[in-house]
Amino acid sequence: MFTTSMLLMLIIGLVTVPLVMGAVALTRDMKLNMNWWKWTLTGLWYFLLLFCIYLDFTFMGEGEIAAAWKLLLFEGVILLILGVGLVRILLSGRSAV
């Protein structure tokens, strides 16, 4: 049976491939020195973002709308702080060319 959760996973899967291809092109255009641990940190941040989206939609599907919005606000602040830190790490190794 095809559920809305499966539809959400399908849409996110379809968005992930162009997003990864765009991230590779962006890092090359910005001349960022990306090594394995920077890609790992970026992948972990994206995985955390997807986990938070799935978790919030699960709460909404269970009928806990207020809890989902509160959790989304809390997760949003954490993801914003971690995202800014990740961008600072990625831009610190930028080549001068």
Give me the pLDDT at residue 85, please.
95
pLDDT, residue 61, reads: 83
Parts of the chain with a pLDDT under 70: 1-2, 93, 95-97
Query: Model confidence over 30-56: pLDDT tens digits?
Result: 888 889 999 999 999 999 999 998 888
Question: What's the pLDDT score for residue 7?
Answer: 83
**How far apart (Å, rounded) are the C-alpha atoms in residues 47 and 5?**
17
Whole-angstrom distance, CA of residue 45 vs CA of residue 27:
16
Q: What is the pLDDT of residue 1?
A: 56
Q: In the structure encoding, which two tokens stand for residue 39, read together?
A: 């890609």
Please count the helices (runs of H) and the strands (runs of E) in the chain.
3, 0
Q: What is the pLDDT of residue 15?
A: 93
